[in-house]
Structure 1
Amino acid sequence: MGFEPPKVNSLDAEREFSRAYRAYAKGDHFQAIEALSKALGFNIYLVDTYLLRGMALRRLGALDAAEEAVENYLEVRHGDETGERFAAALQYERKLVEESIRGSEGFHLLIGRKLPFKTHFRLPLSVNISPSGLGKIKYGFGVIYICDAVGGRLWAMRETSPAPISVEVDAPQTVLPIDEAHFYLINRRGEIMEGTIDWPSELLGLSPLGNVGGIVGDGSMLSPSEIVVGDCERGELLWVSVPKMEITKRWKTKSGRMEPVSVVAFGEAIAIADRANERCIVIDGKGAEEIAAASVPLPRDIAWIDRSTLSVLGEDGSLREIVLRKDTVEAKASLADPLTDAWSIVESKGALLVFDVRLSSVWEIFPMPEEGKGLIFSVCQPDLSEETGEVIFELRGHLALKEALQNLSNPHFFAAWNGHILPVKASLSQDEASVVLLLGSASSGQSVPVMPWDADFDTLLRRIHETVGGWPTDLILESSEELKNTSMELKKRFLSFCLFNGIRASLLAKDMPSAEWVQICKFTGGDVIWNVNSHISGLPPLKEWLLSIHLPPNNVPSGQIGEATLALYGHWEARPFRDWFPLWPNLLHSDPAAIPIIK
């Protein structure tokens, strides 16, 4: 009996492929994959299903599976230009995602600009903030806190609507933000207070919790119920439970008396600027063990750039970068010239803000990705319209860049489709409606889903899609044991999913989060949220570009997906990016019973 080739049902295969294409265009990638599997079942020779499947899997963050699908496509369509470029991009994007979680290999710091303090924060001329002697300046959840340790006053102001409010308090040294309206304040003598802000009434209140004594240099949040405090008098770090005010742990360096003038946590990693020994130390906040140390002349303040990189401000105004590796620590100068009278450094939306001692000036300093290195870019929400007889294809584009970097300059875009190079008109989305994160039983504003982690990642994504009716712009994950024990592969997939769908992810922390999860949140533009009952507002809209492309008239591409795919290219500050979208204009918004596209 001779070989019988598999039976083919071309009509049903093409119908399922068309259904998959429409589902992909709507962002329902699970339905697209399901329809593609059916199409392949009807016609095993329909190789185009593999490339579209790879594109859908990429959107779901499954980069390994996407690569496998594209390899299957190229086995038959060997030499297909679109397939080969897409396969190469997948390999490179996977590397970028890994680096994003691990932290960058190194940064080239660039001073964006130096502005007067009032100009930077858009303060009225009548506002007067004149500290007698600064303690720490802190930033969190869109709020800047300024401690006047000598003058005995604390200022707080929001970046979105800067109108400073203040309260008198004895020797305020540092602030630990909890959310937009709550914080802990620690004064120089170790008194810890809980602070609340009533923004509409412009009232700032403080309630004493207790005293840990000593001479406080700085402090940081570790979890909703634990903070760490640097005591310069006893030369140690104190782990303090709040609001019980119990000292649960102490740590001293083994190599001489420590003077912790700056203490900043990033997940479970705690960075310390030790002025007495002229060095910076990183310790494990859970095990209280030293991880790394680097010599730095007279460190004054310290800020995390990402989970593997610190920026250290010296008393001479110098700025140094400390890069942490598995077995090595590298310290190098970031700027050729020191910043005159620089006092404090904070991280804000991916940029570093450096304040001078009199609060007369602010420097914006941007940690730049390496020149020529690719960026992750994705497009979504396709739409067709007509204008004076021309067909216009519109897409929303998302670029995986820290918000501060996106403000430096606009990216440049162009497209290629069906043998034509097409100009792209790009305009920044002007949706001014601020995103509002509403937790608990809040009932007004734009709510954001708060989702428990699920080890079955596809189930998690399906639940998100069903809850929102699509993909959200913001997402909050609840911390849990399952989340804590998540494999690195699933962390990479979650970050990929967020980056390819323009989703800002935050973490609702119940205990000390891992540095990896903090890194994922910050890279997507989100944050760690400490308070389960908080009402957090004031987050600006996510940056996205509306891309308009005039399509050539009477130009219908072939049925092969490789030839019909619109390629979008661009660059930002000499850093390239690209994405693809299969485009059959006659099917994008046509009837499901439309003429089959596969030939």
Structure 2
Amino acid sequence: MRVFKILLCVSLLMLFSKYPSMGQEMPKADRRAAEALFVMAYRDLLSGRYWSALSNIQGALKKDTYMVDAYFLRSIIQRRMGDLKEAERSMRYYLEVRRTDYRGRALLKGMWQEEEALRNSLNPSASSVQVGLLDARGQGLFGRLDPLFLRGMGGAGKVSSMGDKVFFVDSLGDRVHVYANGRNVASLRFKSPSVVVPLDYLHWVVFCSNGESFRVEEGQYSKEISVRPFLKYSGRISDAAVIQDGVFLIGDQMNGRLAIVSIDGRILSTWHPPLKENKLPEIVAVDVMGKRFAVADRGRGLVYVLDWEYGSSFKEVASIRVPSVRDVIWNHEGGLFIVAEGGTLFKTGPVTYSSVTLEAMQRGLRDPWSICLYESGLILIDQGGRLPMWGVLRPGVPMIGLLGVRSMKIEEIDLYQLTMVAKLPPFLSSYLGRISPVSRGVWQNKLAMISVSSEGYFDDTPESLVLTSSTGGAKSVWEKIKLFAEKGSGLPEVLVVSSGVKLDDTALERLLAFCLINGIRLDLISDGASPSVKLDMARRLTGGYLYNGGALSIVPIKGVQWTFRMPLSKVDVPLGNVSDALVSIFVDAEAYSFRDWLPFWPGVFR
């Protein structure tokens, strides 16, 4: 019996050796095909065709599942698509084999930090932004302001902006002065104007204190300006803001109330401050962030924060005591900037139902009257509405952020070189644009010779992708972006999304990551619904704008970009076979060294 068992085992061994397919066999790898697909994916990535790149790299892994570098490149592609979780997973697969690759580990750590930064940006627990105020006339921003013009202003009006346009309202002088890119482009006469509410880049509404309003349109090419009557309100208008298409929020100083008014003049809803201390309310300023309102009551020295849904009542979220408050605006952190007659600029932390912190940012102002966000900073009007001050916003503490890479390519001049154009987010370009990045980095374990140049740019007709439908949610948004990219257009410079689109926190974080990483501005267009507070915050974080009413006029792109050039030797240029040198160049170029050079949004990196 024992001899029989031995003979049986020998027979089975001989059988499996003769027919190996009957046993377990390691899958075959088509290395050549995998390398070809890898290079195609790499080129698609440099051209902004991320979906095609991802498809090619998946194909490479099917051809050769042991091609470790493909997991690395897949991680880079997924990160560019804003999908940080999947990018982290791919990088972990890569590091299971290349455990000593310090650059891969640095990239993985960076993605963890980026994910945390995105989450904190949309759910901040405290305010970190700081501001430095400068005389706007001496900073190149409004250097061409005529001193006689400033001395001739009566003042007492609001300031507002849309893109590079600033609207100075001279209530006592019955004028509205429009500046674009630092130059006066129009000076219009109205009876006691209070505030200008921009609808888009070429259309805005002038509200007057006597209850009248006028719609103003600027010709796109002719630059001619036409004015026609708009809605009529029965009360004294101190301030106004647009809630959604055809619906406005009006501060009524005479009646001490807040009114929501439709385009035909109908009052949809009103709110009166609760009775306190037997003082009469005096509504002097209002601002809107999604479905949340800020209301400044100078009579009682309070700033109210309200939530409102169309067709429902108001809900008070918080009230903040600010004696002699003048103006209030929302910022990108979900908090407020507030100016008061005492000469102080305040900020609050993110407004929640639990508590709101108030902090003085700047003291010693003479007579601050109005404030507004402008491009990458803010404008404060001092001296009773006559002196413009330029406020440079900057983070209070270093924070991890994201870099907007507009293009990256291999060029052949005398030698090969890797060229990357990095676009600073418009929101902080005025501050970070003054900083020159450090031209150093590690490449192939040696010091690389890097040339760095920076320049301003202005594009009055940016390539835009407009998604007016709010149905389909995140899936529909990504399908449209993919279709746009795969047509050969690459990525848009401006992504315009419907204000009513439904995005959960995960989808919104990915969309924000996609926009920031690729240097895309996220704008919103009103579809009859107010955006959520977090969607409005995401818009502000990319330097985007909210459009309302009729024809859509996209705000031009203005900002700062840096160009990096790194010389490459021919053997390291990724035009042929895959090599460790190729991966090394890519890691250093985008993920490791460049992260040490660039301060990103929302702050200086490391």
Normalized against structure 1, the TM-score is what? 0.86
CA distance in 1, matches of 2:605, 2:450: 14
Match of 2:324 in 1: 298
The residue matched to 2:448 in structure 1 has which SS? strand
How far is 1:131 from its partner?
A: 2.6
CA contact (8 A) 2:394 2:603 kept: no
How far is 1:298 from its partner?
A: 1.5
1:142 is aligned to 2:152: no
CA distance in 2, matches of 1:143, 1:20: 42
How far is 1:94 from its partner?
A: 0.8
Match of 2:539 in 1: 521
Cα 1:572/1:41, change in 2 over 3 Å: closer
CA distance in 2, matches of 1:27, 1:551: 22
Match of 1:263 in 2: 286
How far is 1:520 from its partner?
A: 1.7
CA distance in 1, matches of 2:149, 2:306: 39
The residue matched to 1:290 in structure 2 has which SS? strand
Q: CA RMSD in A?
A: 2.8
Of 386, 394, 399 in structure 1, the residue corresponding to residue 419 of structure 2 is 394
Q: Which moved more, 1:468-477 or 1:80-89?
A: 468-477
Of 282, 291, 297 in structure 2, the residue corresponding to residue 274 of structure 1 is 297
CA distance in 2, matches of 1:540, 1:458: 23
Q: Once the two structures are superposed, what CA deviation does each residue of 1:273-311 show, in whole Å capped at 9, x if it has no partner?
A: 111221211111325211112111211111222251111
Of 101, 117, 128 in structure 2, the residue corresponding to residue 80 of structure 1 is 101
Structure 1 segment 169-184 matched on structure 2, within 5 A: 169-184=190-205
CA contact (8 A) 2:166 2:179 kept: yes
Cα 1:360/1:261, change in 2 over 3 Å: closer
CA distance in 2, matches of 1:118, 1:426: 24
CA distance in 2, matches of 1:39, 1:204: 59
Match of 1:317 in 2: 343
Q: Which moved more, 1:465-474 or 1:189-198?
A: 189-198
How far is 1:405 from its partner?
A: 2.5
Match of 1:367 in 2: 393
CA distance in 2, matches of 1:99, 1:372: 13
How far is 1:331 from its partner?
A: 0.7
What amino acid is aligned across from residue 154 of structure 2 in structure 1?
S
Q: Once the two structures are superposed, what CA deviation does each residue of 1:25-68 show, in whole Å capped at 9, x if it has no partner?
A: 22222122212222222222112211111100001111111111
How far is 1:551 from its partner?
A: 3.1
Structure 1 segment 479-518 matched on structure 2, within 5 A: 479-480=499-500, 483=501, 485-511=502-528, 512-518=530-536
Match of 2:9 in 1: none
Of 465, 470, 485 in structure 2, the residue corresponding to residue 449 of structure 1 is 465
Cα 1:162/1:118, change in 2 over 3 Å: farther
How far is 1:413 from its partner?
A: 4.0
Structure 1 segment 66-105 matched on structure 2, within 5 A: 66-103=87-124, 105=126
CA distance in 2, matches of 1:95, 1:38: 31
1:333 is aligned to 2:360: yes
CA distance in 1, matches of 2:175, 2:275: 35
Structure 1 segment 195-274 matched on structure 2, within 5 A: 195-197=216-218, 200=222, 203=225, 205-213=227-235, 215-242=236-263, 244-256=264-276, 257-274=280-297
CA contact (8 A) 1:179 1:530 kept: yes
How far is 1:576 from its partner?
A: 4.6
How far is 1:71 from its partner?
A: 1.3
Which is higher, the Rg of structure 1 or of structure 2? 2
Of 570, 587, 593 in structure 1, the residue corresponding to residue 597 of structure 2 is 570
CA contact (8 A) 1:476 1:507 kept: yes
Of 438, 447, 459 in structure 2, the residue corresponding to residue 421 of structure 1 is 447
The residue matched to 2:496 in structure 1 has which SS? strand
CA contact (8 A) 1:402 1:523 kept: no
What amino acid is aligned across from residue 504 of structure 2 in structure 1?
S
How far is 1:119 from its partner?
A: 6.5
The residue matched to 1:306 in structure 2 has which SS? coil
CA distance in 2, matches of 1:197, 1:398: 29
CA contact (8 A) 1:278 1:295 kept: yes
CA distance in 1, matches of 2:330, 2:250: 17
Cα 1:173/1:223, change in 2 over 3 Å: same
Match of 1:342 in 2: 368
Structure 1 segment 37-76 matched on structure 2, within 5 A: 37-76=58-97
CA contact (8 A) 1:498 1:524 kept: yes
Cα 1:293/1:390, change in 2 over 3 Å: same
CA contact (8 A) 2:366 2:383 kept: no
Q: Once the two structures are superposed, what CA deviation does each residue of 1:139-163 show, in whole Å capped at 9, x if it has no partner?
A: 2243322333233x12231322622
Match of 1:588 in 2: none
CA contact (8 A) 1:413 1:571 kept: no
The residue matched to 2:597 in structure 1 has which SS? strand
Q: Which moved more, 1:307-316 or 1:320-329?
A: 320-329
CA distance in 2, matches of 1:497, 1:267: 22
Gaps in structure 1 of 5+ consecutive residues? 437-445, 579-599
1:471 is aligned to 2:494: no
Match of 1:159 in 2: 180
Cα 1:9/1:517, change in 2 over 3 Å: same
Instruction: Please identify which structure carries the higher helix content.
Output: 2
Q: Once the two structures are superposed, what CA deviation does each residue of 1:492-528 show, in whole Å capped at 9, x if it has no partner?
A: 1111111111111211112222222222222212211
How far is 1:430 from its partner?
A: 5.6
Of 449, 453, 460 in structure 1, the residue corresponding to residue 480 of structure 2 is 460
What amino acid is aligned across from residue 394 of structure 1 in structure 2?
T
CA distance in 2, matches of 1:227, 1:556: 57
How far is 1:489 from its partner?
A: 1.1
Cα 1:9/1:357, change in 2 over 3 Å: same
What amino acid is aligned across from residue 324 of structure 1 in structure 2?
P
Q: Which moved more, 1:372-381 or 1:287-296?
A: 372-381
CA distance in 1, matches of 2:145, 2:51: 52
Instruction: Please identify which structure carries the higher strand content.
Output: 1
How far is 1:249 from its partner?
A: 0.3
Cα 1:532/1:54, change in 2 over 3 Å: farther
CA contact (8 A) 2:369 2:385 kept: no
What amino acid is aligned across from residue 464 of structure 1 in structure 2?
F
The residue matched to 2:183 in structure 1 has which SS? coil
How far is 1:468 from its partner?
A: 5.8
What amino acid is aligned across from residue 283 of structure 1 in structure 2?
L
How far is 1:110 from its partner?
A: 3.0
CA distance in 1, matches of 2:256, 2:133: 37
Structure 1 segment 398-413 matched on structure 2, within 5 A: 398-400=423-425, 402-413=428-439
Match of 1:584 in 2: none
Q: Which moved more, 1:460-469 or 1:489-498?
A: 460-469
Cα 1:138/1:576, change in 2 over 3 Å: closer
